[in-house]
Structure 1
Amino acid sequence: MLKILIVGLLLAVIASLFSGLFFLLRDESRSRRVLHSLILRVTLSGLLLLIIGFALWHGDLSMNPTP
């Protein structure tokens, strides 16, 4: 369940990235949709980092130090 949430958030960040690019090329600075896309992307990325950090701290995820 946790890994599905992480992958879902990663896909949402990528979708927000491409929507911001689309709005940047399409609107030509006439709207604030690029700004809203950036705010959404930063918020989703922060949430993703918090979830990964909490999962590592709680022991649900573990790092693999072996090559």
Structure 2
Amino acid sequence: MAPPRYELTIRGPISRTVLDLVQTRFDHMSTEGADGTVLVVDNVDQASVRALLTLLWDTGHHVLAFEEKTA
């Protein structure tokens, strides 16, 4: 079974400080899109996903969509 991959769409850009913090905790990739930024994290458990969402909310980022992707 492939490890889970989560895609989060965030309104606007993610601040550099938050991206640096995310990078220290997760394998991630982010891309700018028309609707905001898509942040992709791989191989994380539910507790880590909750911590990531809390971090984004606490730093004023608006999560527009959250989706689990399977390979």
TM-score in terms of structure 1 length: 0.30
TM-score in terms of structure 2 length: 0.29
Which of the pair has the greater relative contact order for Cα pairs under 8 Å at 6+ separation?
2
Higher helix share: 1
Q: Larger Rg: 1 or 2?
A: 1
